[in-house]
């Protein structure tokens, strides 16, 4: 785990509102659609594919599994970039993050999240941000779901 600060940035992509209980079935479908449409995004500032999740209102992060959870599959873009039809833009504020790495099959990604939230953050005495911001960063050109190597950025209070 590393601690990092990420400056405010603009994200453009496809958005899905789901719940944490349902994201394992909903988000792969969102990624399939974004993978078909990603070349429509103009003004890409960073070629890493980003999945940014967040709560749209403050909630108790200890009991959040059935709360509305928004997720945008997209790219970090220049501030002047516009969202293509059917996509959204969202400004992500400057925040401090705990950064973790996931290696292996994406089907085990949920296990990595469980380990981060139930063990690693408490052990380091760190609390997730009240809006639950999290970033999944997949390297440019990434396609291998069996052998994924990606970063998970968890925003902190």
Tell whether pTM > 0.75: yes
Q: Which CATH architecture has domain 2-155?
A: Alpha-Beta Barrel (3.20)
What's residue 146's pLDDT? 84
Instruction: Supply the pLDDT for residue 91.
Output: 96
Question: pLDDT under 70 in the chain at which residues?
Answer: 59-65
**Terminus-to-terminus CA distance in the chain, angstroms?**
16
Q: Which residues contact 13 (CB under 8 A, 6 or more apart)?
A: 34, 41, 50, 72, 73, 74, 75, 87, 88
> What does the domain layout of the chain look like in residue ranges?
2-155
């Amino acid at each position: 785990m590393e601690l990092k600060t990420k400056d405010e940035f603009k994200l453009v992509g496809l958005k899905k509102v789901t719940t944490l209980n349902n994201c394992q079935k909903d988000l792969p479908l969102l990624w399939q659609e974004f993978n078909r449409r990603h070349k429509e995004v103009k003004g890409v500032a960073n070629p890493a594919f980003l999945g940014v999740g967040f709560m749209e209102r403050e909630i108790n992060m200890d009991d959040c599994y059935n709360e509305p959870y928004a997720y945008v599959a997209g790219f970090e873009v220049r501030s002047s970039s516009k969202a293509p039809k059917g996509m959204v833009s969202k400004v992500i504020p400057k925040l401090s993050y705990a950064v973790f790495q996931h290696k292996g099959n994406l089907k085990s990604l949920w296990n990595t999240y469980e380990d981060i939230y139930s063990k690693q953050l408490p052990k380091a005495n760190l609390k997730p941000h009240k809006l639950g911001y999290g970033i999944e960063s997949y390297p440019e050109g990434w396609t291998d779901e069996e052998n994924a190597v990606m970063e998970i950025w968890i925003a902190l209070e």
